[in-house]
A and B are shown apart, each in its own frame.
Chain A
Amino acid sequence: MLHNQVGVGLRSPHINYFVEQTPQVSWLEIHSENYFSPHSIARNQLRSIRKNHQISCHGIGLSLGSVQGINTTHLQQLKELIDEVQPLFVSDHLSWSENGGHYFNDLLPLPYTEEALEVFCRNVLTVQDAIKRPILIENPSSYLQFNHSTITEWEFLVQVQQRTECRLLLDLNNVHVSAFNHGFSSQTYIDTIPAHTVDEIHLAGFSINTLAEGEIWIDTHSKPVSAEVWQLYQLWCEKHGSRRTLIEWDLDIPDVEVLLAEANKASEMLTRLDSMKRKAS
């Protein structure tokens, strides 16, 4: 059994494994939208998995940054899922995905302006009012910035947390990818986020896209976690203590053993930290 803080993303090729096998991780994270239909095969499988695992509901469709506001049907479906699953966390992203009734199934970037901040906070509060609990907001990877942004992403994120009392999901791979793409320091970003507001950490792998002008890094979740991101993770945990940590792998999904081996790296790191802490005390 892995360290109880470490979980993995539950993806369809592995569902039967987690239904049938003795639990090796204490918690799994689902993409909430895939389980909205209460009578679907996936939802029934989730019911079986829930008997032996805690679940975290991670969304990609709330579109919290949309000027139009939250889709009430989507919110109701999420609420029904939460009521049944009683998840550890409910999370979504610092991004938007809907406009004019169209959903783009991606984490689209926001301009970091006062107007966007007000819209984002309004939507977070709407969701929190509906589900009667704080949600976790995850920092996204991004490939562009807007000229009219007036603050940095990390300042924006801190403001969202302070104004809505939401919690944060710190994706260290996303920080690493965005830092390269936009030329800022990962450490500056990470150090600005108050550790006591972080409830969960995401770790994943990225891909490199080479254009004529140079490289751009893409958050594909299709590879093992990079050495640099493991380093960021170790430093963060040494400084602030462990948090629920998730290994995400969404594309070119490997055998479950490969995924669990990746989770085991986080587990060993946290176990070492626990042991050092015990010795120190």
Chain B
Amino acid sequence: MSFGLAQPLGLAELQATFAEGLRYQAQGEACDIFGGRFSAEERLQIYRNNFVMSLTEVMQATYPMLREVLGEECFNALSREYILRSPPTEGNVSHYGNHFDDVISQFEQVTDAAPYARDLARFEWTLDKAQQTFGQSEKRSLQPLEAIHTLSEQQHLNVILHLDSWVFPFTSEFALFDLQRAFSQQNFDNLILNNAQSGVIACDEYGRPWTKELNNQEYQLLLNLSSEMPLGRIKPEALAELPSLIALNIVVGFSLATPH
């Protein structure tokens, strides 16, 4: 076997140029492609198409509701824009698609026609994030919830309730929890999207995602718990909703804040 008959394009340079070419930032001719029957650009275009189409499928799997409401053509065009701007940064693309809402917000025709599209993208990404995070327990020593009864009344004020790391508060000016229910039941009668809704997005013990709309006080309490606020600093009207949040099985344990 003999090498070096031609003056080879270095591999680093070739791969960098080819990668630019995939994102339409370089032409096929710059990659020293043998054209033959087709032009170098036509041959590179096949790889561009494969790159965009394979990741569009990933986006379709992450954003099924958004795809449905925007329609295939619009969704795929937005995905293409997103993919070319932000290719994956890891080989495992199962959870590709963060910040899709930023791309949507830059297309006025889309946000005018579907003002809820950006929030729906955030909603579906949060569903995906809950699944990505499921099972990843932070290494912190927490006491079980049952042990709270052993604390003094004074200590109760310093209790910090910790949520599972796959529990996320979600709020929107649109009724996205209702929209999700309508999708799952395939019944869109009486759906009014122009209602603000807040709630929780999390996973069950098998890693399956679930959502629940919360009332204002429940949501406020969820935000307080998410920010690890001691119970003594939470407004009483929010704290009154504690039993309903605990019933959702999202509190993993507690720790005690150092009293100031």
A161 within 8 A of partner (CB): no
Q: Contacts A39-B134, A63-B91 hold; do A146 and B33 have CB atoms under 8 A apart?
A: yes
Let me know if A106 and B11 touch, CB within 8 A.
Answer: no
Q: How far is the CA of A144 from the CA of B50 in the complex (A)?
A: 13
Give min CB distance, A137 to chain B, whole Å.
16
Q: Given the known A-B contacts A39-B207, A44-B206, A104-B22, are A111 and B9 also in contact in the complex, defined by CB atoms under 8 Å?
A: yes
A41 pairs with B207, CB closer than 8 A: yes
Contact of B90 among A60, A73, A106, A159 (CB under 8 A): A73
Q: Report if B7 contacts A (CB, 8 A).
A: yes
Please, what's the 1-or-0 string for A49-82, where 1 marks a CB less than 8 Å from any CB in chain B? Answer: 0000000000011110011000101100100000
B107 at the interface (CB under 8 A from A): no
Would you list which residues of chain B between 12 and 56 have a CB under 8 Å from chain A? Answer: 12, 14-16, 18-19, 22, 28, 31-34, 36-38, 40, 42-44, 46-47, 50-51, 54-55
A144 touches B44 (CB 8 A): yes
Q: Is B258 an interface residue (CB 8 A)?
A: no
With A114-B3, A216-B46 as known contacts, state yes or no: A146 contacts B14, CB within 8 Å.
yes
Interface centre among B11, B91, B132, B135 (most CB of A within 10 A): B91
Cβ of A37 and Cβ of B15 under 8 Å apart? Answer: no
Q: A108-129, CB under 8 A of B: which get 1 and which 0?
A: 1101011110010000000000
Q: Is A185 an interface residue (CB 8 A)?
A: no
Interface string of A71-101 (1 = CB under 8 A from B): 1011001000000000000000000111111
In contact, A96 and B15 (Cβ under 8 angstroms): yes
A147 touches B33 (CB 8 A): yes
> Contact between A218 and B206 (Cβ–Cβ < 8 Å)?
no
Contact, CB under 8 Å: B88 / A102: yes
In-complex Cβ contact of B135 among A38, A102, A218 (8 A): A38
Q: Is B259 an interface residue (CB 8 A)?
A: no
Contact (Cβ within 8 A) B38 A148: no
Q: Considering only CB atoms and an 8 Å cut-off, how many residues of chain B contact the other chain?
A: 53
B181 at the interface (CB under 8 A from A): no
Q: Are A116 and B11 in contact (CB under 8 A)?
A: yes
Interface residues of B, Cβ cutoff 8 Å to A:
1-12, 14-16, 18-19, 22, 28, 31-34, 36-38, 40, 42-44, 46-47, 50-51, 54-55, 58, 87-94, 131-132, 134-136, 206-208
26 contacts between A and B (CB under 8 A): A33-B92, A33-B93, A38-B135, A39-B134, A40-B94, A41-B206, A61-B90, A61-B91, A74-B92, A98-B91, A99-B18, A100-B16, A100-B19, A102-B19, A103-B89, A105-B55, A111-B8, A114-B3, A115-B10, A143-B46, A145-B33, A146-B32, A148-B32, A150-B4, A211-B38, A211-B42
